[in-house]
Chains A and B, each alone.
Chain A
């Protein structure tokens, strides 16, 4: 039963992820953004299968909810007509295709030579309590570094996006 859901969510994630960047039916950025929402929701499904219920909820609330609303705002504020009219370059397509084929071959070889383990998947303690405990003990310093990183991103974005007074 779990395996069925795993393959279902995994396939949905991959398919929607592909449609985000290369949708053959629509070049509209809003469609891409909506498929990104679907990708995120499918990922949340995978988290549920790992018993990480809290992460799944946060994934939907924060990413599919808050972050995507901002994404859509920005997309609608910017004029992206040019993007819709732009056609694929043949060379770029060929290069991308080649890269995909090579990486697929590599991944195939890697998985064939190193067979996947048959051990039972580890039980993840996904409760907010367990997560909070980890974040404030073992992963406290990475957590702090991440917050500094976000500060850098914030300063950088405000600095670079502001119009300079001549």
Chain B
């Protein structure tokens, strides 16, 4: 083994280190110097330090990217991981921009430091090839999210959200750890390539299958796929809105990226098959069932929701189903680069539109006092700009051209169709997904109808975003529109990075 180089480790982990330092700085600055200040000032300081830390990390990722491997895969950085990490930091900064009016808590320092620490977890999550590190990073991603979900201590729903999220999360983590330990038993190593070599030796037996099911359960919880989705609606609804935006955006991108890495690089040889009439053992049939259930339940249950946050939660479950379809396309090695690019493009644009949508929910919630769909009645008359942004986000989520959501779905569906070397083996799932996308249009349009057609209910106070909220919502809307019109802006760097990462 090569001698361990601390300088090299620091160089490769510099962006994460910058965020960790920023997290500590926020904590100390808020606890030390800002006791008597108003909540608003403390939030501005917290978000400011968060922005500085995030900017340092972004600068490092952009201008001094170090590529390399630490300790045989404990930390791996490649152009691909750096690109995804930059996206994660950007999402965190957007969420921080939505958090400048933290009415839900008096603990501003803790709030921003947990945001930053959770982001570190996500960044490590996407740049490791080692199951031990992966599990720790997953916990570091989840733990801040549990706390953030329960941040509003004056609200019972927030406590309920945190508790449900935590219980489901800890059980899922236990299953994941059990699965990992079985994989370690099979391969004798926690490194993904070694595991891939070990499972390739023989057809999957009961032991590897139990491990596989446990792993899919663990990740299924993180991405909120049916039947591991039960936490999502309550967590989204009860959590403070900026925290919900964080749960719904960055952690989804990171979880899907790492799920894809584990399936493709660790369990690739035991993919099996999910043809309509010929399921063969492996993770493909497993994911096919989970994806089908997620798309069905997510889209159908969303129709009945009266709370906009719950609606976004069920829509997130449905989107998890579409994204799982993209993951299934990873099973064919020749198809992998295109499938991975499609997944990441989809996940990032989805996260952008979700952050924007939650931003609008936050503004409306502040004006009307709840996130009920009724509060959106006549939004176009109260605030035309907000209504326009809402239209962009919802139509993108529904997958209407020329918005980014349409292209994301298009690329994922194309990748899934090409899976299995042109045998159209997943075509039946793609057909279901397209049909259910049409269903999803119904509930998105129902909300838009409230905003554009229905008159406002009586005397609703003016619905105005503050400056940063307006900037964040405007930027995400512009990004969703821009990436839809010029998808190459994101796809080309992604394709290049995937190629350089040797996928």
Contact = CB atoms under 8 A, between A and B. Distances in A.
Contacts of B27: 155
Interface stretch (B68-76, B430-438, B494-502): B68-76
Given A110-B207, A148-B140, A149-B140, A160 B147 contact: yes
Given A141-B71, A141-B75, A164-B106, A152 B210 contact: no
Contacts of B118: 152
Interface in B190-231: 205-210
A120 B497 CA distance: 44
Contacts of B207: 110-111, 113-114
Interface stretch (A17-25, A74-82, A132-140): A132-140
Interface in B148-206: 150-151, 153-154, 162, 182, 186, 205-206
B13 A141 contact: yes
A117 B72 CA distance: 26
A12 to B, nearest CB: 21
A151 interface: yes
A139 B143 contact: no
Interface residues of A, number: 29
B137 A156 contact: no
Contacts of A148: 20, 117, 120-121, 140
B290 interface: no
B107 interface: yes
Contacts of B34: none
Majority DSSP secondary structure for residues of B touching A: helix
A155 B210 contact: no
Contacts of B262: none
B265 to A, nearest CB: 19
A142 B133 CA distance: 5
Interface residues of B, number: 46
B113 interface: yes
Interface in B269-286: none
Contacts of B143: 149, 152-153, 156
Interface string A86-116: 0000000000000000000011011111100
A62 interface: no
Given A113-B207, A145-B136, A146-B136, A152 B117 contact: yes
B74 A141 contact: yes
A147 to B, nearest CB: 10
A130 interface: no
A159 interface: yes
Contact of A110 (B4, B110, B133, B210): B210
Nearest to A165: B106
Interface in B232-284: none
Interface string B71-83: 1101100000000
B110 A138 contact: no
Chain A to chain B: the 9 pairs with minimum beta-carbon distance, closest first: A156-B147, A137-B4, A114-B207, A110-B206, A113-B206, A110-B207, A164-B153, A138-B71, A145-B136
Interface of A: 106-107, 109-114, 136-142, 145-146, 148-149, 151-153, 155-156, 159-160, 164-166
Given A141-B70, A149-B121, A166-B154, 13 more contacts: A106-B210, A109-B206, A114-B186, A136-B4, A137-B71, A149-B143, A152-B118, A152-B143, A152-B144, A155-B27, A155-B110, A155-B147, A164-B106
